[in-house]
Amino acid sequence: MTDSIKVLISEEKVNQRIEELASTISKEYEGKTVHLICVLKGSIFFTCELAKRLTVPVTLDFMSVSSYGDGTASSGRVKIVKDLDEAVDGKNVIVIEDIIDSGRTLSYLMDLLGARKPASLKLCTLLDKPERRVTEVKVDYIGFEIPDKFVVGYGLDYAQNYRNLPYVGVIEE
Ligand SMILES: O=P(O)(O)OC[C@H]1O[C@H](OP(=O)(O)OP(=O)(O)O)[C@H](O)[C@@H]1O
Ligand code: HPA
Ligand SMILES: [Mg+2]
């Protein structure tokens, strides 16, 4: 794909903000192990960058859910493509997401995980698009609030492309 992409948040700014989030989380979880849940595929890059900067012990698991398919609009249906490998009961879980848009994916996922009795359950997202919310979801850690624009990069795709861009960009019309 060869769309023209405008930088919305530079690589430097994203990395600096991740550093700040990691420092906040490390302080809040001192003396505990955090169990990070990476929501595939979008949050893979953010999860790695955040995990590398945490100073508390970390365990990791992966879950894959999909509601966007290859388009730019949510289908409204959340599909579990891959469930977790391990139980979360008794663990201090932080769900890591790349973006919260309509809120449907995360509201579904947080309810599902909450019912599995973790010791604690929080949500951390790199990007939040509050204007687009249709389902309420409590977000504990937010990297950046962004306007209502379809973004790519840092894990986010358009029809599976552009996930590997080291910055957050917007496709120009
Ligand atoms: O708040 P919502 O409107 O539910 O949108 C957010 C979700 O949509 C994207 O995932 P997608 O379904 O595109 O899967 P992907 O991570 O594999 O790209 C994104 O990674 C979030 O999980
Ligand atoms: O703005 C977005 N970009 C890519 N994937 C997404 N999934 C929800 N919102 C977005
Ligand atoms: Mg996607």
pLDDT tens readout for residues 28-78: 999 999 999 999 999 999 999 999 999 999 999 999 987 766 666 666 678
The catalytic position among 3, 83, 101, 128 is: 101
Taking the mean position of all CA atoms in its chain, how far away is CA 59?
16
The conformation of residue 121, written as its DSSP 8-state character, comes to E
For 98-130, what is each residue's pLDDT tens digit? 999 999 999 999 999 999 999 999 999 999 999
Ligand in nearest proximity to the CA of 100: 1
pLDDT tens-digit map of 143-153: 999 999 999 99
Q: Is the CB of 105 under 6 A from ligand 1?
A: yes
Residue 90 pLDDT: 97
Question: pLDDT tens digit string along 67-81?
Answer: 766 666 666 678 889
CATH pick for 11-151 out of 2.60.40.1180, 3.40.50.720, 3.40.50.2020, 3.40.50.300: 3.40.50.2020
89 is catalytic: no
Q: pTM of the prediction? A: 0.94
CA distance 74 to 50: 26
| Residue that the structure tokens 């977000």 belong to | 139
